[in-house]
Structure formats: structure tokens, C-alpha cells
Amino acid sequence: MKIRPSIVLFGDSITEQSFRYGGWGASLTDTYSRKADIVVRGYGGYTTRWALFLLHHIFPLSSTTPPVAATVFLGANDAALPGRTSERQHVPLEEYKENLRKIVRHLKNAQKNVCGSTNIVWPLLTRDKNDLFQHKTVLTCYPAMKIPERTNEVTGDYANGCVEVATEFGVSSINLWSRMQETQGWQKKFLSDGLHLTPDGNKVVFEEVIKVFNGAWLSAPDMPYDFPQYSDIDPHNPEKAFRERCL
């Protein structure tokens, strides 16, 4: 029996490291405590090109319980410049965008098979007649201005490309590239090495992701607990609370 819905965080090292001290993945887990499982699928160094190989494994089309939401946080490595130390990770902008399209299409297909319905308003998280959660996909665009492998200007192009793809498909996007640069001294405040997040940077990502989820029927306070809260359990008749939840 699947009790809780799951939310998958798919991406590169920014996702892989999201459970370090003050990490945005850990904060999401805490926020959705007893309501949804946060599943981390972050792969340090991965580009969209390599991420495509994982799609069918992480989001199998045959699954009857796909995640209700997913964050796709890729591009920081794709934006590595050709002719520099991280050249092997470079993925040209147009291919990056096409790869993102493939990822979004795959997520859409993975979700289709579940509800057996073509009436799903996708990718907006909504509830169908059976009150099932639907997929929510968030593409995240990142500043990643680590020099000498990357420049802020080029990563800006990738961030724009990411937003374009999200708009094409009507999925949500978070433009961290512009969001972070609203704050003076963002380079040191939000990034530890020009690429990875400081605790403050993690906080920004967490807040932006929560903002999207809250606006898409995936607000933690509104979601049901998987099991009764202890204050609802009658110490003299504990069975009652569990029976009421059909447990």
C-alpha cells in the first residue's frame, strides 16, 4: 500500500548535495513530514545529455504510482564552456533545450499512464474527480557562474533557454539566475564556490520551490497526514483513530 505521494528531486550536484547542512532537499523533507516523501535523485556532474539515460529508470512509464511532483534542476554542467577544464560536460544550448523537452515529455508520459484519463490538466498540479494529485514539474535555472569553467553571461543564456522550454510546455520554472542576482553580493552570499549553494543559497532554492508547490495544490499544510496525529488518539481506545483512517 502506498500511503504517501512522492516528490522527486532530479538533477545534478545541486540536487545531490541538497541534504547537507541546511540543504533545500532536507528542508523540503521536513516541510512535507508525514505527508509526502521527498526522493532525491541528484547526480553530481551530470548534464541533460547524460540525465536522459536515467529517465526510464527514475520515472518508469510502467509505474502506477509516479511522483506527484518533480523538480528538474539541470544545466549548470551543460553550461560549462568549450575549451576550458570542464569541456567534457559542455552541452550546446540548443541541445540543452531539446534535452529538457525530452525530459518534460517523458514526465508527461509517465503520468499519463496512471490516471487512465486524457482530461488531466497537465502539468498544473490539480485534482481529478478522484481527488488524485497530478504531476507537477519545476524546471530550475541556475546561475552557476563558477570561473574559469563558466561565465555568468553564458549561464544566463542557459537559464533563459530553460525558462523558454518551461513556457513552451506550460510547466513551472524558477529562474534562480535572475532571482539570486536581485541580492547584492549574491555571489558570496548564495554560492560557496561560484557553483554550489551556501546555507543562504539553499534557503532561496527552498523558498522558491515551496512557492511554486504552494501555488499548485501541493501546499503541505493542506495535505493529509498519512497516519493519525497523536493528539487524535484516544489513549483508552487507540484502535478508533486508526480504524477511522481505514488502517
Chain positions contacting its own copies, by CB under 8 A: 1, 3, 16-17, 19-23, 25-27, 29-30, 33-34, 37, 39-40, 42-46, 49-50, 53-54, 57, 60, 77, 88-89, 227, 229-231, 233, 235, 238-239, 242, 247
Please check whether residue 111 is in contact with residue 128, taking contact to mean a CB–CB distance below 8 angstroms.
no
Between the alpha carbon of residue 175 and those of residues 160, 205, 212, 241, the distances in Å are: 8, 10, 12, 44
Instruction: Compute the least distance from the CB of residue 22 to its own copies, in Å.
Output: 6
Instruction: Compute the least distance from the CB of residue 126 to its own copies, in Å.
Output: 27
The residue (of 71 and 173) whose beta carbon lies closer to its own copies is 71
Amino acid (one-letter) located at 201: G
Residues paired with 42 in a beta bridge: 11
Instruction: Compute the least distance from the CB of residue 58 to its own copies, in Å.
Output: 8
Between the alpha carbon of residue 43 and those of residues 13, 17, 83, 164, the distances in Å are: 6, 9, 23, 24
13 catalytic? Reply is yes
The residue (of 127 and 245) whose beta carbon lies closer to its own copies is 245
Given 13, 27, 172, 173, the catalytic residue:
13
- The alpha carbon dihedral of 102, 156, 143, 151 has a sign of positive
For residues 115 and 133, what is the distance between their CA atoms, to the nearest angstrom?
10
C-alpha cell of 60? Answer: 518508469
The residue (of 1 and 119) whose beta carbon lies closer to its own copies is 1
The residue (of 34 and 189) whose beta carbon lies closer to its own copies is 34
The residue (of 130 and 237) whose beta carbon lies closer to its own copies is 237
For residues 117 and 130, what is the distance between their CA atoms, to the nearest angstrom?
11
Give the distance from CA 151 to its chain's centroid.
24
For residues 80 and 75, what is the distance between their CA atoms, to the nearest angstrom?
9
Instruction: Compute the least distance from the CB of residue 19 to its own copies, in Å.
Output: 4
Instruction: Compute the least distance from the CB of residue 151 to its own copies, in Å.
Output: 21
For residues 86 and 214, what is the distance between their CA atoms, to the nearest angstrom?
37
Give the catalytic positions in this structure: 13
